[in-house]
Chain A
Amino acid sequence: MRCHGLTISGSDSRFLVPQYSTPISTPRPPNPNLSPLFFSVRIPKPVYSARIRVGPVKAKAASAVDDGLVAEAAAAELSFYELLGIPESGSLVQIKQAYKQLARKYHPDVSPPDRVEEYTRRFIRVQEAYETLSDPRRRAMYDRDMAKGLHLAFSARRRYQNDEGMEEKSEWKTRWQSQLSELKRRSMNKDVRGNMSWGARMRRRRDDLSNEL
């Protein structure tokens, strides 16, 4: 499974181009029809290779693959600072500004009609980052956990409890999502193509072809 770096015009966030193969065995074959978009905001330092193995990677990644959203698994591994695109020393004003900017991008109200679900998930993640970092007490706790390497602190705590539930839930989700995925892929490609660079378009087309074979 590969991910492609795309640049969406009108957005200054960059999409990563890590061509890695998923290091985990997945219970089901990933859905090849979805070429996931890789979303990330500027990353201050290359930290997440060290952190990627912290926490219940298996269950999390598995459910993400089920959703056809490897990108989101990676986004989930970003720190809240990285998610908001601010330095770890960022002030409250910066946090608020970054949050509002990202809300304008990823709130489902402003999403393309066929990508509401994806935007909803992104927005919820941005919201979680904002809520944690804008509360001095929670931010201090988060910083402390991060220093210890417990990177996913808040969301992870809930995840530790609920991984299996999430996995089970993603099962039924896969069922109807696989039915929708073909439809979705078409509309998604249609939507994205207009905004893609030539190279990205070519890579996408090549991928589509190999998927159809």
Chain B
Amino acid sequence: MAEPAYTVASDSENTEEEKSSSTFPEIAIGIDIGTSQCSVAVWNGSQVELLKNTRNQKMMRSYVTFKDEVPSGGVSNQLSHEHELLSGAAIFNMKRLIGRVDTDPVVHASRSLPFLVQTMDIGVRPFIAALVNNVWRSTTPEEALAIFLVELRAMAGIQLKRPVRNVVLTIPVSFGRFQLTRIERACAMAGLHVLRLMPEPTAVALLYAQQQQQTAHDNMGSGSEKIGLIFNMGAGYCDVAVTATAGGVSQIRALAGTTIGGEDLLQNMMHHLLPNAETLFSTHGISEIKAIGLLRVATQDAIHKLSFQASVQIDVDLGNGSKINKVLDRQEFEEVNKKVFEKCESLIIQCLHDAKIEVEDVNDVIAVGGCSYIPKVKDLVLNVCKRQELYKGMNPLEAAVSGAALEGAVASGISDPFGNLDLLTIQVTPLAIGIRADGGKFVPIIARNTTMPARKEMTFTTVHDNQTEALIIVYEGEGQQNAEENHLLGYFKIVGIPSAPKGVPEISVCLDIDASNVLRVYASAKHRGPHQKAMPSMEVRMPTVDDGHGWCAEALHRAYGSTSDLVTVQKKI
């Protein structure tokens, strides 16, 4: 599958880069690209420091405007007014859109954003465009993210007085491997080299591990194991992690994540305030975009205020004859978003269950991310965890980026005389990986929450007599029964299976995730008897599927039906 060619931005810095790299090791910076805000931090030799832009901001809005010939992002650009972001010229929520196909409900929900998100509903990349001089100019989430990252890179370079190349990026737990390749591509387009992609709550867990290690040092204690539960909810995603930490080692026991966040709260509220919002805005005319923008700003503002006061007055004139005048209180807000909060609760419960940890054994409950300021969110976390109070000592907006900066320093081989960088994260797989077998079912080979690196093997057999070929279709997902509900990573064919009655041949499939989180799939048909010539086995690096994975699965099914299916071999005891 042909990759479009991209030119790496700012090649001009290369000579300078080579000069400096010989004198001192480059410390990788940590970047937290949020759905709504973004921040950058670096280990400054003694501690983690957040970098500020020219307007002295540590938190920068994640968006790109295509107003003029040269697009500009939220790092350098000064918005004259919030409404400018909502004029159609700005692309935001890149992190919600990246690597998703147009059948994804998240993409569908994004159609009410004040820029163009067009879907064909056939399982391909959605069409995204910004309004420039009354023309919808197409772009992609990767491109928008890359433009933004170029600005971040330049800003960090100025602050650190050196070119920046290596980064540790935080990502949502629910990101699949295909989405990770999109993030990596955006980074490559921006001239950044990704050392690690770290699930957000594991970055927070690393910061927690460091803090616990320091406390243990100060108390001259033995540093016994501590269990931390991390709940992280931002604008786009909600993640939970359970970590067991001792002596600077953060052992991730389980991860759970989903695509819910502040954006859902906002969209639910907008829909609540204006029930026919979607039909009203479907044409995306200039006046409709303006109306969405006005409603969005007013609703966002009201939600923010509800974190600090019991009720809020909303007065907004949408300009097309419809006006909203309403008093909104917390109870109504919580009722409208009941499902979102229930999902948050179930994520925590699921994560504790997967970690095999009783809630009583949790030492600290840590809530971070923008949504952790919402009283209902705080309450639900405390309730599920049966606590009176949350862990203090972390800035909810800075925890993830600080952890990423720590990982950046560790991964760059930097050591600290005080032992503050004697840290290690033992990661787990956030999603299960397996193949389609047993009649269209998803059979996980590497289960969710398996410690990485990992290598697991399973044996399958044929479903037809004298079946000589088998299709290995690899999926990744939360372990839904039906293979099609998971994300397709790739597929290939095993040929030369010895002719035999069904159920006799043995086909072994081995999945290997190496130290760099690269997934390889090995498969081979076993041969008995010395005179039989062995067929070469297969090694396939995944994901191999580029865009349009919805398409591929369907086409495969049409072309092959069940002729090349496999079933699991019952385990011998």
B572 touches A109 (CB 8 A): no
Give chain A residues whose Cβ lies under 8 Å from the Cβ of B225.
93, 96, 100
Give A186 to B536 CA distance when docked, in angstroms: 30
Tally chain B residues at the interface, Cβ within 8 Å: 36
Q: Does B336 contact A (CB under 8 A)?
A: no
B524 touches A165 (CB 8 A): yes
B459 touches A104 (CB 8 A): no
Given A120-B453, A127-B451, A161-B459, check contact A97 B246 (CB 8 Å): yes
Q: Does B514 contact A (CB under 8 A)?
A: yes
Residues of A99-122 whose CB lies within 8 A of B:
99-101, 103-104, 107-111, 116-117, 119-120
Task: Mark contacts of B237-277 with chain A using CB atoms, 8 A cut-off: 1 yes-contact digit, 0 otherwise.
Answer: 00000001011110100000000000000000000000000
Q: Does B526 contact A (CB under 8 A)?
A: yes
Given A96-B225, A107-B426, check contact A169 B510 (CB 8 Å): yes
Residues of B403-428 whose CB lies within 8 A of A:
410-411, 424-426
With both chains docked as a complex, state the minimum distance between the C-beta of B492 and any C-beta of chain A, in angstroms: 15
Give A39 to B571 CA distance when docked, in angstroms: 32
Q: Does B454 contact A (CB under 8 A)?
A: yes
With both chains docked as a complex, state the minimum distance between the C-beta of B361 and any C-beta of chain A, in angstroms: 12
With both chains docked as a complex, state the minimum distance between the C-beta of A107 and any C-beta of chain B, in angstroms: 6
Q: Does B522 contact A (CB under 8 A)?
A: yes
Residues of B504-551 whose CB lies within 8 A of A:
506, 508, 510, 514-515, 522, 524, 526-527, 534, 536-537, 539
Give A168 to B526 CA distance when docked, in angstroms: 8
Give chain B residues whose Cβ lies under 8 Å from the Cβ of A104.
247-249, 424
With both chains docked as a complex, state the minimum distance between the C-beta of B191 and any C-beta of chain A, in angstroms: 23
B244 touches A162 (CB 8 A): no
Given A123-B453, A162-B459, A165-B459, check contact A109 B251 (CB 8 Å): no
Q: Does B457 contact A (CB under 8 A)?
A: yes
Give chain A residues whose Cβ lies under 8 Å from the Cβ of B284.
none
With both chains docked as a complex, state the minimum distance between the C-beta of A144 and any C-beta of chain B, in angstroms: 13
Residues of B373-427 whose CB lies within 8 A of A:
410-411, 424-426
Give A50 to B508 CA distance when docked, in angstroms: 31
Give A166 to B510 CA distance when docked, in angstroms: 9
Among B457, B526, B537, contact of A158 (Cβ-Cβ < 8 Å): B457
Give A172 to B538 CA distance when docked, in angstroms: 9
Given A165-B526, A169-B522, check contact A109 B247 (CB 8 Å): no
Among A103, A119, A164, contact of B424 (Cβ-Cβ < 8 Å): A103
Give A120 to B534 CA distance when docked, in angstroms: 29
Q: Does A48 contact B (CB under 8 A)?
A: no
Give chain B residues whose Cβ lies under 8 Å from the Cβ of A117.
514-515
Give chain A residues whose Cβ lies under 8 Å from the Cβ of B537.
168-169, 171-172
Residue of B nearest to A158 (CB): B457
With both chains docked as a complex, state the minimum distance between the C-beta of B512 and any C-beta of chain A, in angstroms: 9
Q: Does B455 contact A (CB under 8 A)?
A: yes
B455 touches A124 (CB 8 A): yes
Residue of A nearest to B453 (CB): A120
Give A119 to B514 CA distance when docked, in angstroms: 11
Interface-central residue, A110, A119, A123, A161, by most chain B CB under 10 Å: A161
With both chains docked as a complex, state the minimum distance between the C-beta of A94 and any C-beta of chain B, in angstroms: 12
Residue of B nearest to A161 (CB): B459
Give A8 to B521 CA distance when docked, in angstroms: 35
Residue of A nearest to B426 (CB): A103
Give chain A residues whose Cβ lies under 8 Å from the Cβ of B514.
108, 116-117, 120
Give A166 to B508 CA distance when docked, in angstroms: 9
Given A107-B426, A162-B459, A172-B536, check contact A119 B515 (CB 8 Å): yes
Given A124-B455, A168-B534, check contact A100 B247 (CB 8 Å): yes
Give A110 to B526 CA distance when docked, in angstroms: 36
Among A107, A131, A160, A165, contact of B510 (Cβ-Cβ < 8 Å): A165
Give A193 to B569 CA distance when docked, in angstroms: 47
Given A100-B246, A103-B251, check contact A164 B526 (CB 8 Å): yes
Residues of B212-248 whose CB lies within 8 A of A:
224-225, 244, 246-248
Residues of A41-99 whose CB lies within 8 A of B:
93, 96-97, 99
Give chain A residues whose Cβ lies under 8 Å from the Cβ of B451.
127, 131
Residue of B nearest to A107 (CB): B424
With both chains docked as a complex, state the minimum distance between the C-beta of A159 and any C-beta of chain B, in angstroms: 9
Give A123 to B537 CA distance when docked, in angstroms: 26
Give chain B residues whose Cβ lies under 8 Å from the Cβ of A109.
410-411, 424-425, 515
Residue of B nearest to A116 (CB): B515
B572 touches A96 (CB 8 A): no
Residue of B nearest to A101 (CB): B247
Give A158 to B537 CA distance when docked, in angstroms: 19
Provide a sorted-by-A list of 19 A–B residue pairs whose CB atoms are within 8 angstroms: A97-B246, A100-B225, A100-B246, A100-B247, A103-B249, A103-B424, A104-B424, A110-B424, A119-B515, A120-B453, A124-B454, A124-B455, A160-B572, A164-B527, A165-B459, A165-B506, A166-B457, A168-B537, A169-B537
6 nearest CB pairs, A to B: A108-B515, A165-B508, A100-B249, A120-B453, A116-B515, A120-B515
Residues of A that sit less than 8 Å from B by CB: 93, 96-97, 99-101, 103-104, 107-111, 116-117, 119-120, 123-124, 127, 131, 157-158, 160-162, 164-166, 168-169, 171-172
Query: 5 additional contacts, CB 8 Å, given A162-B459, A166-B457?
Result: A104-B424, A127-B451, A161-B571, A165-B526, A172-B536
